Amino acid sequence: MLKMAQQQYIKHLYEVEERSLNEIAEMTGFNFRTVQKYAYQDNWSVDDLPNVEPGSYPVLGDFIPVIDLWLEGDRKVPRKQRHTIQRIFDRLRDECGFTGSYSSVKRYVRKKKYVLKMTNDGYLPLAQPKGCGQVDFGEFLYYDTAGAEKKGYALTVSFPYSNKGYTQAFPSQNQECLLEGMKRIFERIGGVPIRLRFDNMTTAVAQVLKGTERVLTDGFNRFMLHYRFQADFCNPASGNEKGNVENKVGYSRRNAFVPVPTIASFEDFNEYLWDWCEKDAKRDHYKHKIPIQELWLEEASNLLALPEYPFSVFRYAALSVSKYGFVTVENNKYGLNPQLSGKTVQAKIYYDHIEFLHDHQPVGTYKRSYGSGEEIYDWTQYVTTLCKKPGAAEHTRFFSQLPDLWQTHLKQTSGKERRSALFLLDEMVADGNAGFCDDVLELAHENGRTDTDSIRQCYYMIARKEFHPDPLHLGVNTPVLNYNPNLSAYDGLMGGDANV
């Protein structure tokens, strides 16, 4: 079907400019019959909705509720797992005893899908559609384990129909935190909202165009395609367009974050928030006067199905390693092996940690820092280089990170003995046994030994325990050999009589 402007243009050429049908077809490039249809059309009133009333399908009518149920269910699952018309026909015939024709099923299904599509397109004007949500970050204050004040961000997804809300806390409101929070909430509720409304956060929107048009960031766009939800964005400076989540952010901050929490682990605190959200849903809805949870159970049936595979939330970055072995991510330095100096490494940046790779091999993993100007390093990265300069051990910035007993041991050694000790330490790190370092020295000290050779033997005793294989059990059908050799031949060798 042509767009209304195209139909109007054909009618204008025919009525006002008095062009022939052939001329109009040549000018517009449309088929002659199409031009004729709109040039001759006199009735422009809209009365073309498809007829899906059961009474219009004498044989199929009793089966229409079943078809509708299947088609409604298809809206929640990926397209590749939805019913085809042939599948619907087969199920009606095999499971429901339908004896009608394929063509009647085909005619009804096509019309019904058109009606469902029109319904989907009409979600936005509704005040509180089921299965649709709103998303926003809220800022809050917390204390770390040292008692210092920190700023955190609570991601809230609310559902206006039931007034149910879910909140998760993060140290930032960057894209990794946004997507990780949404992913967690989707998995918690066991489904995906049909539509979600956002403000124009830079983690999701790269550019605001005219009207409702938006250029989305690559990461957000891939996340949206993966989970199949539709995203709507408020007009600039119009937070009232997602008033439900704005209220929910304030409500959770006044209740779940008062008194000011002390957060040692965001993972543990987020477990507390899950419990708080579920308990809060037991209160009555402000309007309907029944528990929020009851409305939520009704609403949750409208969610889309979760995808087969969860989305891995991270972003890639290519980074150059400095001569001291550092790479910089968001004004913070992370220490890698100095032997990588001048090379380019790839960083997989998650919301809570960063994995570094070189030539597709892991070269370090660190907890992600949300400070500024911090240096984060791991002593295991530097032992190989330190073997070349053993005298510098106590003067390095990472020396205090070494296991306590090894700090003491290295301070008590020098020259070749220190170099040998560092080579042994490097061997343990290369074997992936850095966790045994202090245990090895403890065992050596218990036996009164401090030399490197003895310490190495203690390491082998702990990390490379002797292997004792189980006895071989022979089967019951193993033949028994009756071997009785004649040893009298040896008598002949000794000067006696041989009986061969």
pLDDT tens digits, 221-264: 999 989 999 999 988 766 567 889 999 999 999 999 999 999 99
Considering only residues 81 and 93, tell me which one the structure prediction assigns the higher pLDDT. Answer: 93
**Domain stops at, among 336, 354, 377:** 377
Measured in degrees and rounded to the nearest 5, phi and psi for residue 346 equal -100, 135
Segment 377-387 shows an average pLDDT of: 87
What is the rounded average pLDDT for all residues in the chain?
86
Task: Let me know whether 284 and 148 are in one domain.
Answer: yes
Domain with 454 in it: 383-463
Neighbour tally for 430: CB within 10 Å: 12
Considering only residues 189 and 434, tell me which one the structure prediction assigns the higher pLDDT. Answer: 189
**pLDDT at position 122:** 46
Segment 465-476 shows an average pLDDT of: 63
pLDDT of 16 strictly over 90: no
* Structural domain contains residue 151: yes
Task: Let me know whether 139 and 278 are in one domain.
Answer: yes
Task: Let me know whether 294 and 356 are in one domain.
Answer: no
Measured in degrees and rounded to the nearest 5, phi and psi for residue 306 equal -65, 150
Distance CA 425, CA 384 (A): 9
For residue 145, with 0-12 CB atoms within 10 Å meaning exposed, 13-18 middle and 19 or more buried, which class applies? Answer: exposed
**pLDDT at position 212:** 75
Q: Number of structural domains, the chain?
A: 5
Task: Let me know whether 114 and 222 are in one domain.
Answer: no
pLDDT in tens, 101-152: 888 888 888 888 877 766 554 444 445 688 999 999 999 999 999 999 999 9
Considering only residues 103 and 170, tell me which one the structure prediction assigns the higher pLDDT. Answer: 170
Considering only residues 487 and 363, tell me which one the structure prediction assigns the higher pLDDT. Answer: 363
Distance CA 314, CA 179 (A): 9
Closest CA to 140 of 131, 149, 132: 149
**pLDDT at position 449:** 87
List of residues 6+ apart from 314 with CB closer than 8 A: 176, 348, 349, 350
- Kindly indicate the confidence band of residue 350, based on its pLDDT and cuts at 50, 70 and 90: very high
Q: Are 38 and 2 in contact (CB under 8 A)?
A: yes
Task: Let me know whether 327 and 274 are in one domain.
Answer: no
Question: First and final CA of the chain: distance in angstroms?
Answer: 111
**pLDDT at position 312:** 92
Distance CA 253, CA 352 (A): 23
Sheet holding 149-159, edge to edge: 164-170, 149-159, 132-143, 195-198, 230-233
Task: Let me know whether 147 and 178 are in one domain.
Answer: yes
Task: Let me know whether 191 and 283 are in one domain.
Answer: yes
**pLDDT at position 208:** 81
Overall pTM > 0.75:
no
Task: Let me know whether 414 and 432 are in one domain.
Answer: yes
* Structural domain contains residue 69: yes
Task: Let me know whether 326 and 260 are in one domain.
Answer: no
Task: Let me know whether 366 and 408 are in one domain.
Answer: no
Distance CA 347, CA 357 (A): 6
**pLDDT at position 151:** 94
Segment 385-390 shows an average pLDDT of: 87
How does 309-348 read in b/e, with b if 16+ C-beta sit within 10 Å? eebebbeeeebebbeebbbebeebbbbbbbebeeeebebb
* Structural domain contains residue 489: no
pLDDT of 1 strictly over 70: no
Task: Let me know whether 407 and 290 are in one domain.
Answer: no
pLDDT in tens, 268-306: 999 999 999 999 999 999 888 999 999 999 999 999 999
Q: Give Cα separations from 360 to 65, 105, 161 (angstroms).
A: 55, 54, 47
Task: Let me know whether 149 and 217 are in one domain.
Answer: yes
Segment 161-185 shows an average pLDDT of: 96
